[in-house]
Amino acid sequence: MKILVCISHVPDTTSKINFTDNDTQFDTNGVQFVINPNDEFGLTRAMWFKEKQGASVEVVTVGGAEVEPTLRKALAIGADTAIRVDTPAVDGYAVAKELADVVKNGGYDLVIAGRESIDYNGGMVPGMVAAMTGASFVNTCISLEIDGDKATAVREIDGGKETVTATLPLIIGGQKGLVEESDLRIPNMRGIMMARKKQLDVKPSVNATPETTTVKFEKPAPKGEVTLVDADNLDKLIDLLHNEAKAI
């Protein structure tokens, strides 16, 4: 089985976010970038298929040379090879077009992507890649088993879970549940050293045209002041909730 894991290069959630050029550009200075968490769950599940079923695992991301440390981390975790599509990831549709070209020419049985990235939270790329390639698609996937050319997946739905079956090739939009956080892997020294020797191919862009343009970024409004009320002063608490917060 040949598996492709789509990786997003995203800011760590602990990073302090700022914008430049009149709030039209994201300021990357001082920002630590990581593998998108939803993608990391998928990568860890792919490693399980590699170890238990002898699958080969390739990772891909769209971006400039600055994303290569993220790909190298995926290689250190255990992926066999990596692909970087040499174009900025500025739009979900354009990214999907670039990834679809990789998928069409790669002969993959299974493509694992995160259901969304934690930077833009668009949640659109895996589904668009499936539509562009004609593959079956399961989103919000929290469990996946493969037996031959048959896949059994469990996905979250409103109010519960749904179990579906599909024939490979298959694309999934994964999330926590494919593996648990305790199953995520930290690269060890041997993995880091081996990652330096593993193949990382740079693929030219298919020059997909973005369908959206970022006009401006805006930070959330700062939190207001907090009023502390003594635990024994219920009358004051009720007065504030009623007359100031208008909550009751």
How do residues 88-134 score in pLDDT, each as one tens digit? 998 999 999 999 999 999 999 999 999 999 988 889 999 999 999 99
CA distance 239 to 35: 48
Q: Which CATH code fits 2-220?
A: 3.40.50.620
Predicted TM-score (pTM) above 0.95: no
% of the chain with per-residue pLDDT over 90: 78
* Confidence band for 81, pLDDT divided at 50, 70 and 90: very high
User: In Å, how far from its chain's centre is CA 168?
Assistant: 22
CA distance 242 to 147: 60
CA distance 154 to 46: 16
CB 172 within 8 A of CB 138: yes
